[in-house]
Amino acid sequence: MSQKTLCIATRNQHKTQEIASVLAAYWVVKCSADYPEMEQLEDIEETGDSFQANATIKAIATSQIVPDYVLADDSGLECDALDGAPGVFSARYGGIPSSAEKNNAKLLQELARVGAMTPEQRGARFRCVLVLAKGGEVLATFDGACEGKIILEPRGLHGFGYDPLFVPRTYTRTFAQLTEKTKTSLSHRGLALKKFIEWCQANPLE
């Protein structure tokens, strides 16, 4: 793969960091904030009812403005005991203005409210959908999921979002207690990025 420029269509610096760490070997990685022309774009409304729909909305809107290849990430957490919530509302689950603290507090409160207090009742997964676009056209879509469970109180200082509450299957530590490298080796985003890299190797871009 030659070193082309890839714009990560996100305002979430944690996502950009995780994605850039993996893709920097292949791409010159930028994010939406690196493009002055993006200032003309109002907040992109994520009106879809799936990660795929919202990642597509972000990828198309951004690639209509920036000249480079664009990769959008839509991701979130699904809890079995909450019928898949917070799902596409993960970023703002605890209300607006959003914060990880409010989201995590609401998640613990909701799981307690429905009586899901044992590890067996607290099954959950992170999902990530990545959409590659250029010039307003979708080129490809990649997804990844990571199964695990939600613990009773936050542990760890790394990562972002729900990481201090999520223990991946076969692990005892939360995502926030693992290094970024270990998290990425098993995470929803890491798995989707692996598919993206394999796709780029099979489909060299102009």
Residues that bind ligand ITT (CB under 6 A): 10-12, 15, 46, 73-77, 90-91, 103, 126, 159-163, 175, 187, 189
Instruction: Please state the closest distance from residue 164 (CB atom) to ligand ITT, in A.
Output: 9
Of 1 and 14, nearer to ligand ITT (C-beta) is 14
Nearer to ligand ITT, 186 or 200 (CB): 186
Query: 118: buried, middle or exposed (CB in 10 Å: 19+, 13-18, 0-12)?
Result: exposed
CB of residue 200 to ligand ITT, shortest distance in Å: 21
- Beta carbon of residue 15, minimum distance to ligand ITT (angstroms, whole number): 6
Nearer to ligand ITT by C-beta: 73 or 143? 73
Residue 32 makes CB contacts below 8 A (sequence gap 6+) with 7, 8, 9, 10, 11, 38, 62, 66
Catalytic-residue membership of 143: no
Angle between helix 13-23 and 188-202 (nearest 10): 40
CA distance 90 to 95: 10
Catalytic residue list = 74
